[in-house]
Every structure is written in C-alpha cells, then in structure tokens.
A and B are shown apart, each in its own frame.
Chain A
C-alpha cells in the first residue's frame, strides 16, 4: 500500500469514528432528555392523580424518545461497519444492532398499542359525557 493510500484510509477512519461519536452522542442525549422529562412527568402525575391510566401518555412519549434515540444509535452502528477491523468487533456490532433493532420493533408495537388504548379511553369518556338524546321531534 502506498503512503498516500494509507493516509487517506487513516483519514477516513478518523472521520468515521468522529461521525460515530457525534451520532451516538445525539442518541444518548435524546434518551437522557426523554428519561429526565418522563421522570418529571411521572412524579408530577403521581402527586396529582391516582389512576394508572394517567401514566400511559407519559410512557407513550418516553417510548417515542427511546425509539428516536435508538434510530440514532442504529445509524452509528451502520457507520461503524465502515471501519470494523476485526471479527470480534464485527460480532459485537452485529449483536448490538440486533438488540437495538428488536427493541425498536417492540417499542413501535407498544407505542401503537398504547396509542390505540388511549384513543379508546378518550372515545369511551367522550361518549359517556355526551348529553343524552332530547325529546323526539314532532
């Protein structure tokens, strides 16, 4: 390998590792912000209300934060495959990507399920508060 080729390869590796760090940090920031926001909301809702359904919307938003953070982390995994020199690192990368993909899939399913439940609850409560039918028209 020529010296110039070696230099460009090194430059590519350092650029990719910098990108990986930046993208992974973005994912981590999203997850941390989501967790702290959810904590504040959980405590606030827990102090004000006693029913379990009040926590479902907060969990929904937390799930969205986690899914977004996971997307960033999966992006960093994809970037990392560009510079994974050993089989050991490739294996770890594959395992992490599998965990993150599975978690993303299950989170999406849970979010859809919770959203459906919230919509049903809102529908039921709206129906319950609707005034009854008036007298029949003549």
Chain B
C-alpha cells in the first residue's frame, strides 16, 4: 500500500504543478496561482504522511503545512491592505429604501431627523 500511496502523492504533486501553471497563465496573477498550488501540494503531503511514516516525512509534512499557512496568511493580509474597490460597500439604503424616499434622494434620512449613517448617502451631487 505504501508504494501506491507514494505513487499517488507523486501524481498529486504533478497535478499541483500543472494546475498552478494553468491558473497562472489564465489569470496572470501569482496570488491566484499560489493558493491552488499549495492546496494540492498539501493533499500530496497528506498522502505521503499516510504512507509509512518516518521522522523525516513528518518533518517535511509539517514544514509544508507551516509554509502553506504562512503564505496563505501573507496573501490574505496583502489582499486586505490593498485599497479596495467601491463595490464592496455599496450603501444598503440605495436599494432598500422606500420608493418615495429614493425618488428624492436628498431627503432620505436627514429630513426625518435621523442621524446619517456612514456611507448611507446614496449618490453625492457634483
């Protein structure tokens, strides 16, 4: 069974490389290709760990898992610190307001005495 698991781990490693290259070519972004590569390499590491375990295999699997986690965390931090587009925080009031108030957007909330929420102004006038 160990030979079969080793062969499977090798196959999954090759699959990981091919998938990473495909995603890299498709998106031209390393930050998209790297998680794909690391996910599949983790699968290969798990298969290797299921085969006859030795301290060297355990150490290499732990290193892969730690490296993968570090890289994914780094990519996520980079993605969150990058200036985001404005589509993520569209004001909810722009679509859920009563028709009467959306027809006259300048009197949406301040006219009724409500405090304006952050980002609640649907459209700013030029």
What is A's interface to B at a CB cutoff of 8 Å? 21, 24-25, 27-28, 31-32, 34-36, 38-39, 42-43, 45-47, 49-52, 55, 59, 62-63, 66, 69-70, 73, 92, 95-96, 99-100, 102-103, 106, 110, 113, 120, 124, 127-128, 130, 133-137
Contact = CB atoms under 8 A, between A and B. Distances in A.
Given A31-B46, A106-B65, A128-B87, 20 more contacts: A32-B11, A32-B47, A42-B36, A43-B22, A47-B26, A49-B26, A50-B27, A51-B27, A52-B29, A59-B35, A63-B39, A92-B58, A95-B58, A96-B61, A113-B76, A124-B88, A133-B97, A136-B99, A136-B100, A137-B99
B2 to A, nearest CB: 11
B15 interface: yes
B107 interface: no
Given A52-B29, A59-B39, A136-B100, A46 B23 contact: yes
Contacts of A32: 8, 11-12, 47
Interface of B: 1, 5, 8, 11-12, 15-16, 18-19, 22-23, 25-27, 29, 31-32, 35-36, 39-40, 42-44, 46-47, 49-50, 53-55, 58, 61-62, 65, 69, 72, 76, 87-88, 90, 95, 97, 99-100, 102-104
A39 B27 contact: no
Per DSSP, chain B at the interface is: helix
Given A59-B39, A133-B102, A96 B53 contact: yes
A99 B50 CA distance: 12
A31 B43 contact: yes
